[in-house]
Amino acid sequence: MYAQLVSSVVVGIDARFVEIQSDVTGGLPAFQVVGLPEKEVSESRERVRSSIKNSGFTFPAKRITANLAPADLRKEGVGFDLPMALAILLASEQIVATSRRYVIVGELSLNGEVRHVPGVLPIAMLTAIGEYDGLIVPEQNATEAALVDGVPVYPVSTLAQAAAFIAGLLSIDRFVVDREALLANAYMLPDVDLSDVKGQEMAKRALEISAAGGHNLMMSGPPGAGKSMLAHGLPGILPPLSFEEALEVTRIYSTAGLLEPETPLITLPPFRAPHHTISYAGMVGGGHGLPGPGEITLAHHGVLFLDETPEFDRRVLETLRQPLEDRSILLSRAGVSVRYPANFTLVGAMNPCPCGHLGDHTHPCTCTLSEIKRYRKRLSGPFLDRVDLFVEVPRLTTEELLARPRGERSSAVQNRVKQARSIQLERFRENPGRFTNAQLSTKELEKYCELDKEGKDLIELAITRLGLSARAYTRTLKVARTIADLDNSSRITSAHLAEAIQYRASDDALS
């Protein structure tokens, strides 16, 4: 007998339907899975066999062929266990399905329990646009799947329960989630409040501008000056994600298998801080089979923090250049190409020299001039060209160390950031793919960053004195636009432009 069900596989962060075709015929007992399955799919034969037996059914002592169509699509993951077992039960006439059509995903334990699987959110999004009566998922994935409008979600905990449901012998209530409640409970106190950071007012201001406009930031200073602490304070001043942004970030983490069942919706901007020993594939994505998302994608709509930036492999840093411009990364492997989003804010921290004490009057520098040059040359000109803000983080004075922190709380800074972001959202209301000034196009730059005569004279002087490239020039204008937004000004004044140039002038110290 023949039976057919529908499941899905995730390719990149998008899902595709897969037909689970099962044929049970006479002949010597055998169980074969075809349709370009990866190792974990092929291993499902033993899980399916034991699960069927331990759920009160009989595993057919016949020749069983399970085909995963289309045959030219690589099949990865363990989500085919449940639909494959149900297709075998249908083909062996142990159950009879109703006329309702479902998309089914789930991993099986040997005792017949249905286990959590990654990538359910993109599968639910695909189901929403298909002509199906609902989505059958493991109980642990129910909240995640129900985030998508228009998809009836039916959670199951065992193979026997799923079999009874598709046979019409058991009724399961549609799972519903309160999305507004998930967003309302999103607030968390930041790990580092800016009011806890002593001194470093210029660096705090740079963080505020970076958060308001999505601008890349590089901090340079001696060890112990507070660079890492400042970077960890950035998430506390970023506005919470909108529901659309949260859904996109959650979709990425669901695909990567990093979504915790107790956190079905990621509502806070991600903060990723990989170690400097990270590989190329770990940063941009890759791995066995279909390439998975890397750190730049996991930082989407959030922050990618590179502590000790010059210590990162040169190839890893250079591969960030294209995503910093395009806000996405295309990974091409044999027979498959996957595009991942990578709209992140880059924050780097580095020492001024190998020993870290150049310009420090307390600890004299022991590096030679050639060592300093080699250290700084680890960051190429094209890479630094994509950084908008450069700020020095000097060693704190004795008075600053002994004094109590008196800076603004992160919540106060966040309010200004939210106000500036709302101005930008209004600016980009006709371009829903854009959110911040860092994404201004060339035409938008001419429209929203027009300078008066005094401003034109000032930027001309900066280009001459600092040797700004065309990219550095446009990034300076974008930063000036953000400073004006923080000042609630419709036009860029010479004061706004001068502050933007000030953060660009520190770039000279790295070249």
The pLDDT value given to residue 510: 55
The pLDDT value given to residue 86: 97
The pLDDT value given to residue 108: 96
The pLDDT value given to residue 243: 86
Among residues 503, 224, 218, 501, which one has the least CA distance to residue 378?
Answer: 218
Angle at Cα 333 formed by Cα 330 and Cα 336, nearest 5°?
Answer: 80
Q: If DSSP codes are grouped into helix, strand and coil, which group holds residue 490? A: coil
266 contact partners, CB below 8 Å, separation of at least 6: 241, 246, 249, 250, 253, 259
The C-alpha atoms of residue 336 and residue 290 are separated, in whole angstroms, by: 7
Which CB contacts under 8 angstroms, 24+ apart, belong to 438-446?
Answer: 438/213, 438/214, 438/215, 438/216, 438/345, 438/388, 438/478, 439/214, 439/327, 439/343, 440/478, 440/481, 442/474, 445/474, 445/477, 445/478
Sheet holding 271-272, edge to edge: 271-272, 303-307, 345-350, 217-220, 389-392
**Location of each CATH 3.40.50.300 domain in the chain:** 194-510
The pLDDT value given to residue 336: 78
**Location of each CATH 3.30.230.10 domain in the chain:** 2-166
The 10s digit of each residue's pLDDT in 137-190 is 999 999 999 999 889 999 999 999 999 999 999 999 999 988 777 776 665 667
The pLDDT value given to residue 200: 87
The C-alpha atoms of residue 375 and residue 365 are separated, in whole angstroms, by: 14
For 133, phi then psi, to 5°, come to: -90, -5
Alpha helices by DSSP H, 106-172: 120-128, 142-145, 159-166
The pLDDT value given to residue 189: 65
The pLDDT value given to residue 454: 92
Residues 194-510, CATH architecture: 3-Layer(aba) Sandwich (3.40)
For 477, phi then psi, to 5°, come to: -65, -40
Report how many helices (DSSP H) and strands (DSSP E) the chain contains, helices first: 22, 18
Among residues 455, 452, 446, 414, which one has the least CA distance to residue 240?
Answer: 414
The pLDDT value given to residue 369: 92
CATH number of 2-166: 3.30.230.10
Residue 370 burial class via C-beta count within 10 angstroms: exposed 0-12, middle 13-18, buried 19 and up: exposed
- pLDDT tens string for the chain (511 positions)? 899 999 999 998 999 999 999 999 988 899 999 998 888 888 899 999 999 999 999 999 999 999 999 988 888 889 999 999 999 999 999 999 999 999 999 999 999 999 999 999 999 999 999 899 999 999 999 999 999 988 999 999 999 999 999 999 999 999 998 877 777 666 566 778 888 888 888 999 999 999 999 999 999 999 988 899 999 999 999 998 888 899 999 999 999 989 887 788 888 899 999 999 999 999 999 877 788 899 999 999 999 999 999 999 999 999 999 999 999 999 887 777 889 999 999 999 999 999 988 888 788 898 999 999 999 999 998 999 899 999 999 888 888 788 877 778 999 999 999 999 999 999 988 877 778 999 988 888 888 998 989 999 999 998 988 888 888 899 999 999 999 999 999 999 999 999 999 998 765 555 5
pTM for this entry: 0.90
